[in-house]
Structure 1
Amino acid sequence: MRYLNISCLIALVFLLSSCSKEDGPGIVSGDGFIIDHSCTKLAAIPSEWIEEAKSNLHIAYGHTSHGSQLTEGMSGLVSFKGPTFSWNNGGTGGSLDLHDYAMSGDLGNPDRTSWAERTRTYLAANPDVNVIIWSWCGQVSDATESNINTYLSLMEGLENDYPGVAFVYMTGHLDGSGLNGNLHIRNEQIRSFCRRNGKILYDFADIESYNPDGVWFGDRNADDGCNYDTDGNGTLDGNWAVEWQNAHTRGVDWYDCTAAHTQPLNANQKAYAAWWLWARIAGWDGN
């Protein structure tokens, strides 16, 4: 009986340690995934993982105008699909707990480092928060390799100091400079780092490079407004979002919503991808 009690005690200690917050909400240390255009099918997210996210995640989001596309899209989604996708600061009424504009500025405003210290200050005052996400607002376009290395290093520093928090990396929005532009090169730097090191990446640029049918506009100098070059003459004379919206039914295939710098469909896609992100962080394997 003594040996049985010792065995039970060991099993209990192991169970408690495996449920520790040290690895973050549903994330095993070292795990990572990329949220991109392939993660925009809302119906593919199991309802139980939507509920798991609403039950367990406490999210703080720092951004300025471009980053608002996620939350503007998420707000419109509630009207489009119902209270299953509701969110607010505090998570009241069974909603997702998401503190929008939790920290002032963005990843490049007022400079390229203040966001990290603001994150530390915020987490000290809000120890229940277990997800941190920041967005860019144009600053990847003129970033140097060193600038991006600074961003990546600061993110890793936060991850090391707050192992119970999931930190979400992000690419910069499209700017019309195409595959040979600095933006694409710097975004690839971020993507490569995240793949190699098992990080969580919300690929903002990739999401707005595709329409809902999976047609790619990344090689047509697409920009953040969904404008693109239809014939290779250097003029952005098409708009993939407007074209898709006009060919489909509003309120059925897509929904109207506020969308800073862009079209509603782009914010729709960003919202769908955001819910994939929350579900994955909560523990869903994406299948």
Structure 2
Amino acid sequence: MTQNTLDNNPAITVSLWSWCTQLNYYTEEQTQEYLDAMAFLESRNPNVTFVYMTGNAQATGEDGYNRWLRNEQIRQYCRDNNKILFDFADLDSWSNGEQATYEYTVGGTTYNIPVEHEDFHGSEAGHTTYTSCEQKARAFWWLAVMIASGVTSQTTTQSSTTTSSPSSSTSTTMSTTYADIAQLLSSPTFFTLLLVGGIVVAAIVITRRGR
């Protein structure tokens, strides 16, 4: 379906496939199929920027644990292969500088699993709140500006959520985590890039409409 859409719409330069709740129950192998499919599309469409994505962080218990593992699988793949990631799950778990987590124990090891923040509990807009929608929109607009401006790599540091062995890892992936957005929204550089990116996007739209 994605390839057919791209074939019939050659003006498309960015593609993102969004999850619902599949990662609550997907196996490692099934998630790898998603990653392989994205890699195949990238090889077929070198002029299209493909954006990877994590699944929402609403589930708790065993489902939430599996979702976290699969999201971590996607994150690690993006770090290892320098991919662009829209980290929906990370954005889901943060509000006003506070991350929501719950404890889950497997084989004697307890993990703090990120989960949707209570500020986003509700059904104002399809199982979530307008506040959550605004946060995701701000993050996605930032991502769009980065892509339009030609900035396709950024170094970020993320901490492990494992209580037994906390660690950190450095990524060269453009990752739209809550920490990235909170920092950039307060930076004058962000607004400069926002303006430049907006001009670039507008110029592209005007040019294509004039064809």
Confirm or deny that 1:157 pairs with 2:23. no
1:178 Cα deviation after fit: 6.1
The residue aligned with 2:139 is 273
Tell me what 1:195 maps to. 79
Q: Within 5 Å, which residues of 2 pair with 1:81-100?
A: none
Deviation at 1:207, TM superposition (A): 0.3
**For residue 173 of structure 1, what is the aligned residue in structure 2?**
56
The corresponding residue for 1:209 is 93
Q: Shift of the alpha carbon at 1:284?
A: 5.7
The structure that has the greater radius of gyration is 1
Mark the CA change 1:258 to 1:275 in structure 2 (over 3 Å): closer, same or farther: farther
- Which residue identity does 2:35 align to in structure 1? L
Q: 1:164 to 1:284 in 2, by over 3 A?
A: closer
Q: Is the 8 A contact 1:141 1:175 kept in 2?
A: no
Letter in 2 for 1:201: L
RMSD value, Cα: 2.5
TM-score calculated relative to the size of structure 2: 0.62
Please state how far the C-alpha of 1:264 moved relative to its aligned partner. Answer: 1.1
Higher relative contact order (CA 8 A, sep 6+): 1
CA distance change for structure 1 residues 278 and 157 in 2, over 3 Å: closer, same or farther? same
Specify whether residues 262 and 161 from structure 1 end up closer, same or farther in structure 2 by C-alpha distance, changes over 3 A only: same
Work out the percentage of aligned pairs sharing the same amino acid: 40
Contact 2:120–2:131 (8 Å) recurs in 1: yes
Tell whether the 8 Å contact from 1:178 to 1:184 is kept in structure 2 after alignment.
Answer: no
Structure 1 residue 283 corresponds to structure 2 residue 149: yes
Q: Select 1:262's aligned residue among 111, 128, 143.
A: 128
Assess, with a 3 A threshold, how the Cα gap between structure 1 residues 258 and 127 changes in structure 2: closer, same or farther: farther
CA distance in 1, matches of 2:56, 2:37: 20
Aligned residues: 143
Deviations 1:60-83 (A, max 9, x none): xxxxxxxxxxxxxxxxxxxxxxxx
The 1:210/1:271 distance shift into structure 2, 3 A limit, reads: same
1:1-287 aligned at under 5 Å gives the runs 118-177=1-60, 181-211=65-95, 213-219=96-102, 223-224=115-116, 226=117, 239-241=118-120, 259-283=125-149, 285=151, 287=189
Kindly indicate whether the alpha-carbon contact (under 8 Å) linking 1:178 and 1:222 is maintained by their aligned counterparts in 2. no
For residues 174-196 of structure 1, give each alpha carbon's deviation from its aligned partner in whole angstroms, at most 9, with x where no partner exists: 13326971010000000000011
**2:93 is paired with a residue of what secondary structure?**
coil
Partner residue in 1 for 2:202: none
Asked whether the 8 Å contact 2:90–2:114 carries over to 1, the reply is: no
Counterparts of 2:148 and 2:47, CA distance in 1: 13
Tell me by how many angstroms 1:241 deviates: 3.8
SS at match of 1:143: coil
The one-letter amino acid of 1:134's match is W
CA contact (8 A) 2:99 2:114 kept: no
User: Quick one: distance in 1 between partners of 2:24 and 2:71?
Assistant: 9
- Note the residue ranges of structure 2 that are not aligned, 5 or more in a row: 104-112, 152-183, 190-211
> In the TM superposition, what whole-angstrom CA distance separates every residue of 1:215-243 from its partner, at most 9, and x where no partner exists?
1113466655x4xxxxxxxxxxxx2347x
String of CA shifts for 1:13-45, please: whole Å, max 9, x gaps.
xxxxxxxxxxxxxxxxxxxxxxxxxxxxxxxxx
Sort the Cα spacing of 1:201 and 1:178 in 2 relative to 1 into closer, same or farther, 3 A: farther
